[in-house]
Amino acid sequence: MTGWIAVAGLSPGNEALVTPEVRAALDDATDVVGYIPYVARIAPREGLTLHASDNRVELDRANLALSMAAGGRRVVIVSSGDPGVFAMASALFEAFEALGAPAIDIRVLPGITAMLAAAARAGAPLGHDFCAINLSDNLKPWALVERRIRLAAEADFAMAFYNPRSASRPHQFARTLEVLLQVCGPERLITFARAVTTPDEHIKTVTMAEALPEMADMRTVVLVGNSATRRTGRWVYTPRRAD
C-alpha cells in the first residue's frame, strides 16, 4: 500500500464551501489528523481513524502524519479555511524539512480562507491591493506585528487580521485599533466578521472611531478598508483604481 498526505482546508464552516477535491481525499483516507474542533467536522466511517489533538501541537501532528504515511497510511491533515493560511501546511513542511525531506507523497489542497468568505459577505472590501496579518504573537514578537500593521496602513493596503483577540492577550487588539486610528483616521471602515458561513455568523461594519476591542474574538476575522473603501447600499467595497 502506498501512503500519502493531503493537507486540506475544511472551509470557514459551511460544508458547501469544502471543495470536491478535499471531499475526495477524505473519502480515500485511512486517517484524519488535526485540531479537535476541525476533526469533529469529519463524519466517522468504517476504515477511517480520527486523530484529534489539542491546539499548539502542530509539529507533533505533522510528525504523526509523516510517520503514518511512511507506513503506507493515507492521511488527511485538516485545517479550517485554507491550509496554507496560518495553518498546518507550513507546520508539515517544517517537520518534513527536519526529517531531511523524505520520499513521501504530499499534496496541499487549497480551501476558502476566512478573509475571502468574510469579504464576500461584506461586498468587496479586498477589491484592491490588500494584505493579511496574523495578530497572534505566539510565533513572532509583538513589536514585529505592530510594525507590519503600521507600515501596511501607511502603504494604504486594505488589511485582513486573523487571530485578532484571545482571552490570554486582550490588550494587543486594543493597541491595534489605536495604531489604525492614528494612521487611518476616524472615518476608515472596519468590518468585524464573526463565525462566517456558520449558523453563528455575525457581520458588522463600523468606522474606526466606533470600533471597540470587544467587537472581535478568536472566531472573528477583521477587515480594514483602504482610504477609498466606501459603502454603497448595504455593501462595502474598495474601488479597483487608486490615484
Based on C-alpha coordinates, what's the Rg of the chain? Answer: 19
Q: Which of residues 208-227 bind ligand SAH (CB under 6 A)?
A: 218-221
In the complex, minimum distance from the CB of residue 200 to ligand SAH, in angstroms, rounded to a whole number: 9
Among 35, 38, 86, 157, binds ligand SAH (CB under 6 A): 86
Closest by Cα among 184, 117, 121, 196 to 154: 184
Residue 106 pairs in a beta bridge with 5
Closest by Cα among 183, 143, 141, 137 to 161: 137
* Beta carbon nearer to ligand SAH, 73 or 82: 82
Candidates 40-48, 52-60, 158-166, 232-240; binding stretch for ligand SAH (CB under 6 A)? 158-166
In the complex, minimum distance from the CB of residue 165 to ligand SAH, in angstroms, rounded to a whole number: 8
E-state strands within 37-73: 49-53
In the complex, minimum distance from the CB of residue 166 to ligand SAH, in angstroms, rounded to a whole number: 8
In the complex, minimum distance from the CB of residue 128 to ligand SAH, in angstroms, rounded to a whole number: 21
Q: x/- site string to ligand SAH, residues 159 to 198, per CB under 6 A? A: ---xxx----------------------------xxxxxx
Cα 9 to Cα 112: distance, rounded to the nearest angstrom: 7
Closest by Cα among 168, 6, 147 to 76: 6
* Beta carbon nearer to ligand SAH, 69 or 115: 115
Among 3, 68, 75, 81, binds ligand SAH (CB under 6 A): 81
113 binds ligand SAH (CB under 6 A): yes
Q: How many residues does the chain have?
A: 243
E-state strands within the chain: 4-9, 31-35, 49-53, 74-79, 105-109, 123-124, 130-134, 158-162, 189-194, 202-207, 220-224, 230-232, 235-237
Please give the size of the binding site for ligand SAH, defined by CB under 6 A.
Answer: 25
End-to-end CA distance of the chain: 58
Among 12, 123, 125, 225, binds ligand SAH (CB under 6 A): 12
- Contacting residues toward ligand SAH, per CB under 6 A: 12-13, 79-82, 85-87, 113-114, 118, 162-164, 193-198, 218-221
